[in-house]
Structure 1
Amino acid sequence: MHYISTRGHVAAQQFSEILLAGLAPDGGLYLPDAYPQVSSADLDAWRSLSYADLAFEILSRFATDIPAEDLRMLVRKTYTPEVYCNVRAGELAEQITPLRTLEEKDGGKLVLQALSNGPTLAFKDMAMQLLGNLFEYTLSRQHAELNILGATSGDTGSAAEYAMRGKKGIRVFMLSPHRKMSSFQTAQMFSLQDENIFNIAVEGVFDDCQDIVKAVSNDLSYKATQKIGTVNSINWARVVAQVVYYFRGYLLATTSNEQKVSFAVPSGNFGNVCAGHIARMMGLPIDQLVVATNENDVLDEFFRTGIYRVRKSSETYHTTSPSMDISKASNFERFVFDLLGRDAERVASLFRKVDTHGGFDLSGGPGSDGDEFAKVAQYGFVSGKSLHQDRLATIRDVHARHGVTIDTHTADGVKVAREHVKPGVTMIVLETALPAKFNETIQEALGHEAERPAGFGNIESLPQRFVVMPADAAEVKQYIRVHTGL
């Protein structure tokens, strides 16, 4: 298995070579030169596997340069009931990502897939815990060090820091938008006192943080000298690790490979739903991929109209589902690459237009940049958005009817999923976080606090360690220099 850039960088590389890299040298994103295909016989054989062994079967098709016995050891070390122990009462920890049926209507089901049982109570743990083990394994073999630069709108940061804390040869520099995360999310990150963790609160929005990460990654000389790597979903390993739970959800929800399911995915940066797209391209029987946005609806606008229009920082709303407060979806480029028939030259041209003019138009209308929007339906994508009052109403409804408390982002997913349920097709909503992470909104919706797993009772009162910095890539680069000594 070799990897290529969405913008045409020609040097094909293997998994271990791009694991630590993030962006390709031309600023594009890595994808395999062809998606491995999964047969019906494969799905039959995988139905009885543990989550870890299923992860091995899928990841071994992408990480072909890692010895099989080493990869199996890494996934079995990662996906254990001890790591993913925050399972709600009555559910089996051994399943890692158990399903829970919420409702049945007209022959269609609405099901939650629990992805938030890891150490930071968010779905990002599903990939990040594996990434930490992969990084440590690869760096040890290379006798190397890595300085991770990441950006977070809330959950990526804590998931990365918990996965990398104490890892030999790794430092983490995490950018987050100052005062724009929930108090729980902020405390999860800033309360860590590990010497290899550095939190930088940027005076701006998530897109400003993300732009800094890309600017640093595109400075190839600095990147090499400072040994910069990434853990955001621009990192291919993050995305491919998320592919596993789509297969897991399908196998738990069906009894026959003749059945199809749909997935509803709360989405801001397009990384989570991009993994679903890849699973579908591999042959997983997915009917619809439902993209659920909040008030920051750049993705919903594209999947309704074919117009991709990036919002400015001043046009990005601070909402009660803050991890989706994103107006420039980094992973969207991977889907556009496939949508355009893997025409890297056109992809590069369109995303240069994003940087200069703020977007592009594939609607096929007068003055548009192409007519590929007509092909979107072939990939199963539909979309919708959820506003603050929608998520409050959904949280109340799910709690009243099913006795289940869901977080704000999952509520966005449920609201939009209900608009797309089809008779005879199970709709799986990917849970994004436990509700305790967004307690302020749970209190507003239900009038009481969200239940907290053991160990998180007083997290907001712990001492916090962070620095505040303007949205300036040069200042971030200097901060990294000072704290690495390189």
Structure 2
Amino acid sequence: MLYLSTRGHPDRKHFCEILLEGLAPDGGLYLPEQYPQVTPEQLSRWRGLPYADLAFEVLSLYIDDIPAGDLRAICRKTYTEEVFGTKEIVPLKQLEEGVYLQALSNGPTLAFKDMAMQLLGNLFEYELGRRGQELNILGATSGDTGSAAEYAMRGKKGVRVFMTSPYGRMSPFQQAQMFSLQDANIHNIAIEGVFDDCQDIVKAVSNDLEFKRKYKIGTVNSINWARLMAQVVYYFAGYFHATSPHPNPLPEAEGTKRVSFAVPSGNFGNICAGHVARMMGLPIDKLVLATNENDVLDEFFRTGVYRVRGGADTYETSSPSMDISKASNFERFVFDLLGRDAETVKRLFGEALAKNGRFDLGADLAFAQARARYGFLSGKSTHADRLATIRDTHRRFGVTIDTHTADGLKVARHFVQPGVPMIVLETALPIKFAATIVEALGHEPDRPARFRGIEDLPKRMTVLPADAVKVKAFVTAHLS
């Protein structure tokens, strides 16, 4: 399996090369040359596997430069009941007729990012040990990626983490999770700006090839293919949980029932993993994208116009992890949408966005057909919607959901089809956004014992302006 850049760089690379690299040298994102196709026989064989073994089966289709025994051991080390609190790892709960909630937030930092980040930490440690090298991770977070990365990388040999986040724009719990860590290999940088500024800094540093190579800079954001690849696995798990085995035991009966997924989305990474699963042949009917008031992606899927916004036009909302106006992973989908036309992708995400801050595919008569072919639908949720959905879910089902999951559930209900299970991906436990839960329900959500009093712990972080040069100077100053 070889990987190419969405912007047409001539090099083709194996998995472990792009694992440590992040962005391609031309600023593009890596994707496999072709998506491996899953047969009904494979689906039948995978149904009922423990999650760790399902992960091995899916990941082995994309990784040919790690011995199978080692990869299986990494998966089994990662996806354990001890780490994720449940034997099923990603259990499914039916809320109402046709609507399910897939729990993805049982990991160490109570967010779905743990599903990929725990694997990424073990992959980094394995590959760096094999090479005898070190890696300095520069990341950006709107709330959950940072803590998931830091908890996954703390204490890992040969790895340092420099995590940027928007100063004052995360919930108190999210800030405490990150800033209370005192590990010597963890560095938190609070940027005076919005998440998009943090993301721009990471991309700018990654595109400085001399600096990147000299200081061995890597990334844990979902621009790193390994993150997205790991997330593909829980789409398969969700499908298996939501579809009973067909009464006909023959393997070819597998895959005759379809499911849909609703995904809260800001940076397009989580739902892009669903797109990859669908391209592999997983029987996904619709991929329902849910945004908050920062509705850049909803606007695109409704109109064909992709229009990024600046910091002043990026709303601060009660689902802050989606307060994003530049969706990094969106380039991967557009690459497929345009028939893998790297030159056009390079022009759109390079010249067009730099010059106009937007591009328009809606005028193309083929856009609606192409969008339908990939199964995408979209919708928007507001603060009032979140409160109403949280209250309704608690009242009717006795389930408390976080604000981002509420966005997903609200939008999902508009697109439920008879006979097609709609699986809403949970994004975090509600304690991470306690103020809004109190506003909705009048009481604090449950808090795991290990996080009691976390907001009162000493904090360690540095505030810097939204300036890539200043961030690079900070990184180099802390490498001794």
The secondary structure found in structure 2 opposite 1:83 is helix
1:325 to 323, 339, 347: 323
**Which one of 401, 426, 429 corresponds to residue 431 of structure 1?**
426
Distance 1:484 1:374 in 2: 51
Question: How far does residue 265 in structure 1 lie from its aligned partner after superposition?
Answer: 0.1
> In the alignment, what sits opposite 1:286?
284
Correspondence 1:81 to 2:81: yes
Distance 2:315 2:366 in 1: 30
**Distance (whole Å) between structure 2 residues aligned to residue 22 and residue 373 of structure 1:** 32
Partner residue of 2:93 out of 73, 86, 100: 100
Q: Alpha-carbon deviation of 1:355?
A: 2.2
Residue of 380, 388, 395 corresponding to 1:393: 388
Q: Which amino acid aligns with 2:327?
A: A
Which of the residues 185, 190, 204 maps onto 2:179?
190
CA distance in 2, matches of 1:293, 1:372: 21
Write out per-residue CA displacement over residues 417-449 of structure 1, whole angstroms, 9 at most, x where no aligned residue: 001000111000000000000000000000000
- Asked if 2 retains the 8 angstrom alpha-carbon contact of 1:15 and 1:65, the reply is yes
Counterpart check, 1:218 vs 2:207: yes
Query: What are the residue-to-residue correspondences of 1:227-238 with 2, within 5 Å?
Result: 227-238=216-227
Q: For the Cα contact (< 8 Å) 1:362–1:373, is it kept in 2?
A: no
- Equivalent-residue separation in structure 1 for 2:472 and 2:62 (angstroms): 32
For residues 355 and 211 of structure 2, what CA distance do their matches in structure 1 show? 24
Does 2:344 align with 1:355?
A: no
- Asked if the contact 1:264–1:291 (Cα under 8 Å) also holds between the matched residues in 2, the reply is yes
Task: Give the aligned partner of residue 165 of structure 1.
Answer: 154
Equivalent AA in structure 1 for residue 405 of structure 2: T
Q: How does 1:85-484 map to 2 (within 5 A)?
A: 85=85, 93-104=86-97, 109-255=98-244, 256=246, 257-352=255-350, 353-364=352-363, 371-484=366-479
Residue 374 of structure 1: CA displacement? 3.4
Runs of 4+ in 1 over 2 A off after TM superposition: 370-374
Give the whole-Å Cα distance in 1 for the aligned partners of 2:263 and 2:408.
6
SS of the aligned residue for 2:36 comes to coil
Q: 1:163, 1:478 → 2: CA distance?
A: 25
Distance across 1 between alignment mates of 2:447 and 2:216: 38
Q: CA deviation at 1:48?
A: 1.6
Q: Is the 8 A contact 1:149 1:174 kept in 2?
A: yes
Distance (Å, rounded) in 2 between the aligned partners of 1:204 and 1:215: 16
Q: Does 1:48 align with 2:43?
A: no
Letter in 2 for 1:362: L
TM-score (norm 1): 0.96
Contact preservation (8 Å) 1:363, 1:374: no
Q: Give the CA deviation at 1:395.
A: 0.1
Shift of 1:372: 2.9
Checking the alignment, whether the CA contact within 8 Å between 1:364 and 1:373 is kept in structure 2 is no
Shift of 1:47: 0.8
3-state secondary structure, aligned to 2:450? coil
1:193: how far off? 0.2
The separation in 1 between residues aligned to 2:154 and 2:366, in whole angstroms, is 47
Alignment of 1:4-15 (within 5 A): 4-15=4-15
Equivalenced residues, count: 470
What amino acid does structure 1 have at the position aligned with 2:41?
A
| Conserved 8 A contact 1:247-1:284 | yes
Offset, 1:64: 1.1
Report deviation, 1:248: 0.3
Q: Deviations over 1:231-278 (max 9, x none)?
A: 000000000000000000001110232110000000000000000000
- Structure 2: tracts of 5 or more residues without a match: 247-254
For the residues of structure 2 that align with 1:434 and 1:441, how far apart are their CA atoms?
Answer: 13
> 1:49 and 1:355 mapped to 2: Cα distance?
47
Letter in 2 for 1:247: F
The one-letter amino acid paired with 1:147 is N
Greater shift, 372-381 or 43-52, is seen at 372-381
Q: Take 1:354 and 1:245, find their aligned partners in 2: how far apart are those partners?
A: 33
Letter in 2 for 1:102: L
Question: What is the alpha-carbon root mean square deviation over aligned residues?
Answer: 0.8
Shift of 1:81: 0.2
Is contact 1:442-1:448 (8 Å) kept? yes
CA deviations over 1:8-52 (Å, ceiling 9, x no partner): 011110000100111000000000000000011111101120000
Which amino acid is the alignment partner of residue 453 of structure 1?
Answer: P
Q: CA deviation at 1:139?
A: 0.2
Q: Say which SS state the counterpart of residue 318 (structure 2) adopts.
A: coil
Once the two structures are TM-superposed, the CA of residue 373 in structure 1 deviates from its matched residue by 4.2
CA distance in 2, matches of 1:419, 1:385: 11
Q: Give me the whole-angstrom Cα distance separating, in 2, the residues matched to 1:169 and 1:16.
A: 16
CA distance in 2, matches of 1:375, 1:306: 11
Give the distance between the partners of 1:374 and 1:426, measured in 2 at CA: 24
Letter in 2 for 1:470: P
Give the Cα–Cα distance (whole angstroms) in 2 for the partners of residues 383 and 64 of structure 1: 35
